[in-house]
Chains A and B, each alone.
Chain A
């Protein structure tokens, strides 16, 4: 029996109708495509009226297949599948044609656009005839969640979930949770002490009965899918027994080996070879830095072991692999600072008194290497003038095109701290002042009143080559003041570079492990930039905080909480739908050549020795269809993407070419 197809072409306001003659497409489809019973155009198919129209037609006209030509299936496929289902039609008997993203928005010519639209509608209509009813599979959701990254976003997400009563594994690469926020002195615009608001969350996470902290650990491997992920985590050897250590700190105190701390102290302070990154670290269990430890490098010392009252030092400890099972994953892996040495004209690394913002944060911090005293690189001289240069490596096509979002406010905060703690003159060299969140503009106004000097212009260079006695022994900031319209040379004692916020160096690698991708700039791609900012294209994997894009603390916290809410939704629902798109082998026709066996990355194809044929293990199959294309006998079928459907789709897409070559025959 012939199918009864309904075709619905959406105007999407003028989004589609502007470059595609939608009425013509509908008219044409109704007349020229076989088995089309209904062909309509409508202003907004996704509106409730549009959906109701489909539902009514299915019931009244007895439609057995539905095609909606509108936007990307990634946006509204679910909407229309639901509409079909409501009217009693299997949702997999519906096909979506992408006229908006793939035709009207990328084309200027209405005639050509309409022609392409017709071909794409024909492709869907031909394909939909061969679509088969499918039943989605449902799997249970493991209520445990993995949170990767123990910065503020990850902590927030972990605590929200743990407080709601769910198990959380919080993995952090560093020896302590806290992230970048732990390094700051104050937070803008309220000037709360960063540690004062962060450490309660850290210790809460450390003590929470529902949170398993896995610090100094890295994610190695992820397998499985939404609801049931299996995750391998490498717990790096701390060389300190986690259970015996009381965190008294005697080992660090007595350790004879002192090294520059390039991590937490941003190279300004020192730490010991056995250390916790900072006093409030969670957990308080130290780690041994084997590259610098005297015992590990020279085989002698063992002072830490001798002084430890609980015999917690274990030089024989090895990396440990932990395997956990979780239902969802939240990535909150944060950011890294731009390498300011990449801009040599700013002199970082060459001119002693050029600092990065992270170095300066430590300098301002009362718990930092100078106890919060702002001094020059010599460690004692108080600067009389400081220049803060914005947009170092951000808003710069050579490095990062994007704006780092927080540096303007961070610069104002540092300016305030300098004015509060010293008598120095502070100059801010900015391109545009971006203070667009709650109370931010007010903070900017405050700094204007406090006497920070603002110079609008991108700095050309920072140099120590003096041109006159005034500049002697100073760092000279050369810049075009675009408000005055002239070149200025401002001599200062100290320069702070507001380095860009960049994606972590291994963000892409980690993303791949979890099946999500990065934007061109390297940030994790969310499912929808506006309407679905914490979900990703991979079900069960969510993102939060700066790994998704540069943002401030309030936004990171909001995203952490949002990701947790999404995960809670999954857990409370209990079951998750898996698309029934899988491969199946017709065992009767299989010759047992086993070509497909090795093609599957999930080992989803087993060979049945007794029958001499291969079989797909449905639970493991993810439906890529590679085996289908490889089967020399053509006996593997991919549901929803079988050969018949794709061949029909090709035929539809080329309806005009086929018509053209048939023409001479008929003439």
Chain B
């Protein structure tokens, strides 16, 4: 499945206070890690809606990284615990959709742990490389039933958006 030239596309959701700053620190310290993770900043890992992850995978991401402050160190008291709960539920869902749960990884990194975050990114990229491309969008075409089921998830959220704006 995997070949040497495969460069996974990964989306990383990071909280403003710890993990995003850990990524900043990794930069300031010139720690090198694979350039596969495109980082999206959120205020808190508690903001990570499982739909974000599904959206990313459904658009063609091969993996997703979720990162927050360490348990007990959340800038918003304990919202990262809620992120953690959602993460485990999401893993369950992914499994039932036939997606390897290793493609989505949750990492705790404090603002001082640039090295730790870089290592976690390295690991995620290596894991996803081993699994090969996800090809969710093109797999849809091969499996119409599933396509419907998945599109309905996305649609549901888009409907929700309409109300919002």
CB distance from A259 to the nearest CB of B (A): 36
Q: Given A105, A519, A520, A629, which contacts B28 in the complex, CB threshold below 8 Å? A: A105
A633 vs B157: C-alpha distance in the bound complex, in angstroms? Answer: 9
Q: What are the residues of chain B within 8 A of A622 when measuring CB–CB?
A: 76
CB distance from B103 to the nearest CB of A (A): 14
Asked if A651 is an interface residue, CB under 8 A from chain B, the answer is yes
Judging by beta carbons under 8 Å apart, are A601 and B78 in contact? yes
The number of chain B residues touching the other chain, given as a range, is 35 or more
Q: What are the residues of chain A within 8 A of B110 when measuring CB–CB?
A: 517-518, 520
A373 vs B1: C-alpha distance in the bound complex, in angstroms? Answer: 78
Asked if A171 is an interface residue, CB under 8 A from chain B, the answer is no
Q: What are the residues of chain B within 8 A of A635 when measuring CB–CB?
A: 160, 163-164
Judging by beta carbons under 8 Å apart, are A625 and B60 in contact? no
Asked if B49 is an interface residue, CB under 8 A from chain A, the answer is yes
Scoring B residues 2 to 35 as 1 if CB is less than 8 Å from chain A, else 0, what string do you get? 0000010101000001101101111110111101
Asked if B99 is an interface residue, CB under 8 A from chain A, the answer is no
Q: What are the residues of chain B within 8 A of A123 when measuring CB–CB?
A: 38, 40
Judging by beta carbons under 8 Å apart, are A525 and B112 in contact? yes
Scoring B residues 37 to 51 as 1 if CB is less than 8 Å from chain A, else 0, what string do you get? 011111110111111
Q: Given B23, B137, B161, which contacts A647 in the complex, CB threshold below 8 Å? A: B161
Asked if A215 is an interface residue, CB under 8 A from chain B, the answer is no
Judging by beta carbons under 8 Å apart, are B75 and A106 in contact? no
Q: Given A101, A623, A650, A661, which contacts B23 in the complex, CB threshold below 8 Å? A: A101
Interface centre among B61, B118, B159 (most CB of A within 10 A): B61
Judging by beta carbons under 8 Å apart, are B24 and A624 in contact? no
A287 vs B17: C-alpha distance in the bound complex, in angstroms? Answer: 41
CB distance from B26 to the nearest CB of A (A): 6
Judging by beta carbons under 8 Å apart, are B47 and A641 in contact? yes
Q: What are the residues of chain B within 8 A of A647 when measuring CB–CB?
A: 52, 55, 157, 161
Identify the stretch in A111-119, A321-329, A485-493 within 8 Å (CB) of chain B at 4 or more residues: A111-119
Which residues of B55-70 have CB atoms within 8 Å of chain A's CB atoms? 55-56, 59-61, 69
Identify the stretch in A229-237, A345-353, A471-479, A652-660 within 8 Å (CB) of chain B at 4 or more residues: A652-660
Q: Given B18, B42, B135, which contacts A641 in the complex, CB threshold below 8 Å? A: B42
Judging by beta carbons under 8 Å apart, are A654 and B112 in contact? no
Q: What are the residues of chain B within 8 A of A119 when measuring CB–CB?
A: 9, 38
Scoring A residues 497 to 537 as 1 if CB is less than 8 Å from chain B, else 0, what string do you get? 00000000000000010010111100001000000000001
Judging by beta carbons under 8 Å apart, are B11 and A634 in contact? no
Judging by beta carbons under 8 Å apart, are A661 and B137 in contact? yes
Q: What are the residues of chain A within 8 A of B75 when measuring CB–CB?
A: 515, 538, 624
Judging by beta carbons under 8 Å apart, are A512 and B52 in contact? no
Q: What are the residues of chain A within 8 A of B40 when measuring CB–CB?
A: 123, 646, 649-650, 653
A63 vs B46: C-alpha distance in the bound complex, in angstroms? Answer: 33
Which residues of A75-123 have CB atoms within 8 Å of chain B's CB atoms? 98, 100-103, 105-109, 112-113, 115-116, 119-120, 123
**Do A106 and B164 form a contact, CB below 8 Å, given A625-B46, A634-B157, A646-B42?**
no
A183 vs B116: C-alpha distance in the bound complex, in angstroms? Answer: 39
Q: Given A586, A623, A630, which contacts B164 in the complex, CB threshold below 8 Å? A: A586
Judging by beta carbons under 8 Å apart, are B24 and A625 in contact? no
CB distance from B34 to the nearest CB of A (A): 8
Q: What are the residues of chain B within 8 A of A602 when measuring CB–CB?
A: 77
Judging by beta carbons under 8 Å apart, are B35 and A517 in contact? no
Interface of B is mostly: mixed
Q: What are the residues of chain B within 8 A of A641 when measuring CB–CB?
A: 42-43, 47
Q: What are the residues of chain A within 8 A of B137 when measuring CB–CB?
A: 657-658, 661
Scoring A residues 630 to 644 as 1 if CB is less than 8 Å from chain B, else 0, what string do you get? 100111011001111
Q: How many residues of A contact B (CB 8 A)?
A: 65
Q: What are the residues of chain A within 8 A of B164 when measuring CB–CB?
A: 586, 634-635, 637, 642-644
Interface centre among B76, B113, B165 (most CB of A within 10 A): B76
Judging by beta carbons under 8 Å apart, are A657 and B61 in contact? yes
Asked if B73 is an interface residue, CB under 8 A from chain A, the answer is yes
Looking across the interface, which residue of chain A has its beta carbon closest to that of B56? A650
Q: What are the residues of chain B within 8 A of A664 when measuring CB–CB?
A: 138
A564 vs B42: C-alpha distance in the bound complex, in angstroms? Answer: 32
Asked if A207 is an interface residue, CB under 8 A from chain B, the answer is no
Judging by beta carbons under 8 Å apart, are A102 and B23 in contact? yes
Asked if B86 is an interface residue, CB under 8 A from chain A, the answer is yes
Judging by beta carbons under 8 Å apart, are B23 and A512 in contact? no
Judging by beta carbons under 8 Å apart, are A626 and B138 in contact? no
CB distance from A28 to the nearest CB of B (A): 15
A538 vs B33: C-alpha distance in the bound complex, in angstroms? Answer: 29
Judging by beta carbons under 8 Å apart, are B160 and A633 in contact? yes
Looking across the interface, which residue of chain A has its beta carbon closest to that of B59? A654
Q: What are the residues of chain A within 8 A of B165 when measuring CB–CB?
A: 644
Q: What are the residues of chain A within 8 A of B50 when measuring CB–CB?
A: 629
Looking across the interface, which residue of chain B has its beta carbon closest to that of A529? B28
Q: Given A101, A589, A629, A634, which contacts B46 in the complex, CB threshold below 8 Å? A: A629
Judging by beta carbons under 8 Å apart, are B26 and A106 in contact? yes
**Do A72 and B27 form a contact, CB below 8 Å, given A622-B76, A625-B44, A625-B46?**
yes
Which A residues have a C-beta under 8 Å from some C-beta of B?
72-74, 98, 100-103, 105-109, 112-113, 115-116, 119-120, 123, 512, 515, 517-520, 525, 537-538, 581, 586, 589, 599, 601-602, 622-626, 628-630, 633-635, 637-638, 641-644, 646-647, 649-651, 653-654, 656-658, 660-661, 664
Q: Give 6 nearest A-B pairs by CB, closest first.
A: A634-B160, A657-B60, A101-B27, A626-B46, A625-B47, A601-B77
* 26 sampled A-B residue pairs with Cβ under 8 A: A74-B24, A102-B23, A115-B35, A116-B38, A120-B39, A512-B72, A517-B111, A519-B112, A520-B110, A537-B21, A581-B43, A601-B78, A622-B76, A623-B43, A624-B46, A628-B47, A634-B157, A637-B164, A638-B47, A643-B164, A647-B52, A653-B56, A656-B9, A657-B59, A661-B137, A661-B138
